[in-house]
């Protein structure tokens, strides 16, 4: 039995609340989903909908994703259980989708075809709407573009929820998608609207909206926004009410929440007291600009308001979410309650022991904990800046890169360098703290949309991840050394959203194409991190897919490192026209990646290469003060503080059993902790390039230190060095 724990949040009861969780299962434990069930605190089975998001190489379940209905009472926590080998598995009625009609016992919706509306009709209880909710549209360059759905695809349909995806275009020019998520017997559903700039030109978009017309008589119109307490604008006579979220509003508003978890809510409602419709924008403040309107003709959700513009660069995508709530004339308190729960849903968690026993994140669980290091990791995970704005939410600029001028005077965005979501996923796994999961979800969604090339005629660009640059993709550099996949796979396991899985696999495919280019035919003409990160990406993709094709290029990379070492003596990188140097953190990247591959395909030649590389760094890169230098050239032989060396030293200890390698890393660990004291939201709130930025610390620091420090910390504490 895997315990699913809900922490106390709301003072209202949530009965049959749809809840979701993904968690790993140790190898060989679960062969089939046939006997998986979810039980309440009294041992009674509740409806659940289960799927596998990854398998072990022996065919057993590696990651299980389940949705189920939970009763969670006001001001109380709750514990459910996932029974992997249930002896009393029941059959619960499923939702059905046939001929574009979704139906369950209390809800029916017919999707429209060749229409400007989303639904031909929709019914809940005795409430019925026809020609309901317009398809999204926007304006640009004096033209109006309406999303046309070419086809609907049923992604999932079961006992708890149904996901239907519509694929189409905006005006036969730009890519468009619309995903619907319904929950069995619930009067609310989510629309996930996506835009993709499938041109080589930038686009200045305005008035991106969804209309929801109604034909009520005697209307109550309401718009509402919350920051701690919800403020309403309401008319009992059907007067138009409008609320907008702008940069100026956010600059003057204080909010103490971790905004990835919660900031506030933002909704519109129209009702004739017997029936009504509410629309809530998900994380509207975080994804400003936003607006909602309620009037006698119905509701309008402005993903981008009429008087605001957002610039989308070539190949850029963005996804925005809106929940529609059909109700029987409920009070504003009840509507607001559901709206807030949508912003911060009940999320069950499993014990860190579940992750530890499954061994999906090796070498991060420490038996002998050191509070100073635990506090340090928490502070580093939390200190990143929060950047409000629909194209920037989920990312942070790097002011080191920015101040160097790499953005030509503009902010240089990190683009999830070093895989920030994956580090947050591991932090969540080892602590069980919810906000780290929410960090994964926010950063992962941004990564899927903004940090990936979604349109190009060049196969070396298509589906690749952009290197850190201004305007997120303005530099248009896609290289092996700046592409990751593990955080996207994590996102898939925690959300069940296969689009993240597909994005990760496409990144890996881009990496394989890059490895076929001429620069990788010459040893030492690239840095060790180029092929090192490529090896890590391809190995991770193999571990997720169990497809041997990903290991073909891995073998090529191992051969590449072996020949490079023979030709150059060591992994020296070309730096200037007449200079080849040791770069400690790049060599460390290669060591870590080689070891990840070696755990899949153990080879003595790999282990020997690793040991020679580590010994070479100890002999040539270690300064008298116990720290490693940055780069092997007088102009850059400053103190190094990159934590990846700690993981390389840990690997040398793992292979040799010699504690000298761990002892060599202690000064670096202490130095990193001394210069990286948590800085919180340094610099206060600023408005830069249209982005409301709270803090100046980027995500790269935690992304590159989480795994190395926990790996080193695990071995060092076990051996008594710490």
Encode pLDDT of 274-320 as tens digits.
999 999 999 999 999 999 999 999 999 999 999 999 999 999 999 99
H/E/C letters for each residue in 148-200? EEEEEEEEEECCCEEEEEEEEEECCCEEEEEEEEEECCCCEEEEEEEEECCCC
For residue 226, what pLDDT is reported? 96
User: Domain boundary residue among 382, 397, 429?
Assistant: 382
- When pLDDT is cut at 50, 70 and 90, the band that residue 526 belongs to is low
d(CA 143, CA 122): 31
The answer to whether 64 touches 22, Cβ cutoff 8 Å, is: yes
The answer to whether 187 touches 326, Cβ cutoff 8 Å, is: yes
Can you tell me the mean pLDDT for 456-466?
Answer: 97
* pLDDT 10s digits, 263-281: 999 999 999 989 999 999 9
Can you tell me the mean pLDDT for 453-462?
Answer: 97
pLDDT > 80? residue 521: no
Instruction: Output DSSP code: residue 465.
Output: B
The answer to whether 548 touches 539, Cβ cutoff 8 Å, is: no
H/E/C letters for each residue in 594-657? HHHHHHHCCCHHHHHHHHHHHHHHHHHCECCCCCEECECCHHHCCECCCCHHHHHHHHHHHHHC
pLDDT > 60? residue 677: no
User: Domain boundary residue among 382, 403, 430?
Assistant: 382
Q: Tell me, yes or no, whether 43 lies in a domain.
A: yes
Flag the least confident range among 86-90, 475-479, 579-583: 86-90
| Six token digits for residue 608 | 């020997």
- Judgement on whether residues 69 and 165 belong to the same structural domain of the protein: no
Q: Tell me, yes or no, whether 59 lies in a domain.
A: yes
Q: Which residues contact 304 (CB under 8 A, 6 or more apart)?
A: 138, 205, 206, 207, 208, 209, 289, 290, 310, 390
Q: Tell me, yes or no, whether 460 lies in a domain.
A: no
How many structural domains are present in the chain? 2
In sequence order, the β-bridge partners of residue 143 are 140
Cα angle 389, 393, 396 (rounded to 5 degrees) comes to 110
Cα angle 105, 106, 112 (rounded to 5 degrees) comes to 100
Query: Checking phi first, is residue 76 left (phi over 0); if not, alpha (psi -120 to 50) or beta?
Result: beta
H/E/C letters for each residue in 476-535? CCCCHHHCCCHHHHHHHHHHCCHHHHHHHHHHHHHHHHHHCCHHHHCCCCCCHHHHHHHH
- Judgement on whether residues 199 and 332 belong to the same structural domain of the protein: yes
- Judgement on whether residues 163 and 64 belong to the same structural domain of the protein: no
- Judgement on whether residues 125 and 200 belong to the same structural domain of the protein: yes
Sign (positive/negative) of CA torsion 529, 532, 536, 537? positive
The answer to whether 420 touches 707, Cβ cutoff 8 Å, is: no
Query: Checking phi first, is residue 142 left (phi over 0); if not, alpha (psi -120 to 50) or beta?
Result: left
For residue 678, what pLDDT is reported? 45
Q: Tell me, yes or no, whether 416 lies in a domain.
A: no
For residue 482, what pLDDT is reported? 93
| Six token digits for residue 701 | 């620091």
**Domain boundaries, position 292:** 96-343
User: Domain boundary residue among 343, 367, 392?
Assistant: 343
pLDDT > 50? residue 68: yes
Helix (H, G, I), strand (E, B) or coil at 436: helix
d(CA 652, CA 637): 24
pLDDT > 90? residue 681: no
CATH of residue 266: 2.70.98.10
For residue 522, what pLDDT is reported? 63
- Judgement on whether residues 55 and 200 belong to the same structural domain of the protein: no
d(CA 380, CA 401): 19
d(CA 327, CA 124): 8
* pLDDT 10s digits, 343-363: 999 999 999 999 999 999 999
- When pLDDT is cut at 50, 70 and 90, the band that residue 683 belongs to is low
300 closest CA partner among 438, 138, 482:
138
- Judgement on whether residues 261 and 273 belong to the same structural domain of the protein: yes
CA 28 to chain centre: 28
pLDDT > 60? residue 411: yes
- Judgement on whether residues 252 and 372 belong to the same structural domain of the protein: no
- The H-assigned helical ranges of 196-251 are 247-251
pLDDT > 80? residue 682: no
For residue 518, what pLDDT is reported? 87
Instruction: Output DSSP code: residue 86.
Output: -
The answer to whether 258 touches 438, Cβ cutoff 8 Å, is: yes
- Percent with pLDDT over 70 in the chain: 98
- Percent with pLDDT over 90 in the chain: 90
The mean predicted confidence, pLDDT, of the chain is 95
- Judgement on whether residues 74 and 170 belong to the same structural domain of the protein: no
Helix (H) or strand (E) run with residue 438 in it:
helix 434-450
Instruction: Tell me the HSE value of 535 on the side-chain side, using a 13 A CA sphere.
Output: 29
Q: Which residues contact 333 (CB under 8 A, 6 or more apart)?
A: none
The CB density around residue 337, as the number of other CB atoms within 10 Å, is: 18
The full DSSP string for 396-420 is -B-HHHHHHTTTTTS-EE-TTTT-H
In sequence order, the β-bridge partners of residue 134 are 117
24, 28, 34, 36: CA torsion to nearest 10: -40
Q: Which segments of 236-331 are extended strands (E)?
A: 241-245, 266-271, 276-281, 290-295, 298-304, 310-312, 317-327
Q: Tell me, yes or no, whether 66 lies in a domain.
A: yes
Give the N- to C-terminal CA distance of the chain in Å, as an integer: 35
- Judgement on whether residues 110 and 84 belong to the same structural domain of the protein: no
- Judgement on whether residues 339 and 356 belong to the same structural domain of the protein: no
d(CA 179, CA 145): 18
Query: Checking phi first, is residue 553 left (phi over 0); if not, alpha (psi -120 to 50) or beta?
Result: alpha
H/E/C letters for each residue in 683-709? CCEEEECCEEEECCCCCHHHHHHHHHH
φ/ψ (deg, to 5) at 50: -120, 150
Q: Tell me, yes or no, whether 405 lies in a domain.
A: no
In sequence order, the β-bridge partners of residue 206 are 139
- Judgement on whether residues 224 and 307 belong to the same structural domain of the protein: yes
Pairing of strands 37-39, 78-83: antiparallel
- When pLDDT is cut at 50, 70 and 90, the band that residue 680 belongs to is very low
In sequence order, the β-bridge partners of residue 137 are 146, 209
Pairing of strands 78-83, 2-6: antiparallel
d(CA 511, CA 461): 10
Q: Tell me, yes or no, whether 582 lies in a domain.
A: no
In sequence order, the β-bridge partners of residue 21 are 66
Can you tell me the mean pLDDT for 373-377?
Answer: 96
576, 580, 584, 589: CA torsion to nearest 10: 90
478 closest CA partner among 488, 463, 459, 465:
465
Q: Tell me, yes or no, whether 637 lies in a domain.
A: no
pLDDT > 60? residue 246: yes
- Judgement on whether residues 69 and 102 belong to the same structural domain of the protein: no
pLDDT > 70? residue 39: yes
- When pLDDT is cut at 50, 70 and 90, the band that residue 204 belongs to is very high
Cα angle 14, 2, 19 (rounded to 5 degrees) comes to 25
Residue 243 burial (CB < 10 Å; 0-12/13-18/19+)? Answer: buried
Q: Which residues contact 88 (CB under 8 A, 6 or more apart)?
A: 37, 45
CATH of residue 357: 2.60.40
Helix (H, G, I), strand (E, B) or coil at 559: helix
């Amino acid at each position: 039995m895997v315990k699913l724990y809900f922490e106390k949040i709301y003072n209202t009861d949530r009965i049959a609340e749809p809840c979701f969780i993904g968690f790993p299962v140790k190898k060989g434990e679960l062969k089939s989903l046939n006997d998986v069930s979810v039980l309440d605190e009294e041992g009674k089975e509740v409806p659940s909908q289960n799927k596998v998001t990854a398998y072990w190489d022996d065919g057993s379940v590696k990651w299980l994703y389940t949705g189920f209905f939970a009763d969670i009472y006001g001001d109380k926590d709750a514990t459910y259980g996932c029974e992997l080998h249930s002896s009393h598995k029941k059959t619960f009625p499923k939702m059905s989708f046939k001929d574009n009609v979704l139906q369950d016992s209390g809800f029916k919706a017919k999707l429209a075809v060749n229409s400007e509306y989303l639904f031909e009709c929709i019914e809940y209880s005795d409430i019925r709407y026809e020609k309901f909710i317009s398809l999204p549209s926007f304006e640009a360059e004096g033209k109006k573009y309406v999303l046309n759905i070419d086809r609907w695809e049923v992604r999932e349909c079961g006992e708890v929820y149904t996901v239907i995806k519509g694929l189409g275009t905006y005006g036969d020019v730009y890519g468009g998608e619309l995903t619907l998520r319904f929950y069995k017997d619930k009067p609310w559903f989510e629309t996930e609207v996506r835009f993709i700039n499938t041109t080589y030109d930038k686009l200045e978009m305005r008035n991106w909206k969804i209309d929801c017309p109604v034909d009520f008589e005697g209307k109550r119109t309401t718009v509402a926004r919350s920051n701690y307490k919800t403020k309403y604008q309401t008319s009992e006579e059907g007067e138009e009410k409008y609320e907008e979220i702008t940069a100026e509003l956010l600059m003057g508003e204080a909010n103490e929440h971790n905004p990835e978890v919660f900031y506030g809510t933002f909704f519109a409602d129209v009702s004739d007291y017997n029936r009504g419709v509410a629309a809530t924008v998900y994380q509207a403040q975080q994804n400003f600009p936003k607006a909602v309107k309620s009037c006698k003709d119905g509701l309008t959700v402005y993903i981008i308001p009429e008087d605001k513009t957002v610039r989308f660069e070539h190949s850029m995508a963005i996804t925005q979410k809106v929940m529609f709530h059909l109700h029987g004339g409920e009070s504003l308190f009840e509507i607001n309650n559901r709206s807030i729960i949508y912003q911060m849903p009940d999320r069950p968690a499993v014990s860190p022991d579940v992750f530890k026993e499954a061994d999906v994140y090796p070498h991060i669980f420490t038996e002998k904990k050191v509070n100073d290091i635990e506090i340090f990791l928490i502070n580093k995970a939390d200190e990143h800046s929060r950047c409000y704005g629909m194209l920037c939410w989920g990312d942070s600029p790097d002011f080191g890169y920015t101040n160097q001028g790499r953005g030509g005077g503009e902010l240089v965005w990190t683009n999830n360098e070093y895989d920030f979501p994956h580090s947050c996923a591991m932090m969540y796994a080892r602590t069980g703290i919810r906000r780290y999961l929410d960090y994964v979800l926010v950063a992962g969604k941004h990564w899927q949309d903004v940090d990936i090339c979604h349109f190009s005629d060049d196969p070396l660009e298509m589906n690749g991840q952009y290197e850190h640059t201004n305007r997120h993709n303005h530099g248009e550099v896609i290289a092996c050394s700046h592409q990751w996949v593990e955080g996207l796979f994590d996102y898939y396991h925690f959300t069940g959203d296969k689009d993240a899985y597909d994005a990760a696999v496409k990144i890996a495919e881009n990496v394989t194409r890059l490895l076929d280019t001429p620069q990788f035919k010459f040893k030492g003409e690239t840095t060790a991190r180029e092929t090192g990160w490529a090896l890590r990406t391809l190995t991770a993709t193999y571990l997720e897919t169990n497809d041997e094709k990903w290991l073909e290029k891995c073998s090529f990379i191992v051969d590449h490192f072996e020949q490079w070492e023979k030709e150059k003596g060591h992994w020296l990188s070309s730096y200037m026209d007449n200079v080849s140097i040791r770069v400690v953190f790049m060599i460390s990247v290669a060591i870590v990646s080689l070891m990840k591959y070696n755990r899949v395909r153990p080879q003595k030649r790999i282990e020997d290469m690793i040991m020679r590389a580590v010994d070479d760094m100890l002999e040539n890169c270690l300064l008298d003060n116990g720290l490693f230098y940055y780069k092997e050239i007088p102009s850059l032989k400053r103190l190094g503080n990159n934590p990846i060396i700690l993981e390389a030293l840990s690997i040398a200890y793992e292979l040799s059993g010699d504690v000298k390698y761990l002892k060599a890393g202690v000064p670096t660990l202490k130095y990193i902790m001394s210069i990286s004291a948590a800085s919180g939201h340094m610099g206060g709130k600023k408005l830069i390039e249209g982005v409301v930025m709270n803090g100046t610390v980027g995500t790269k620091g935690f992304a590159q230190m989480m795994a190395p420090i926990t790996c080193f910390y695990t071995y060092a504490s076990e051996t008594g060095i710490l």
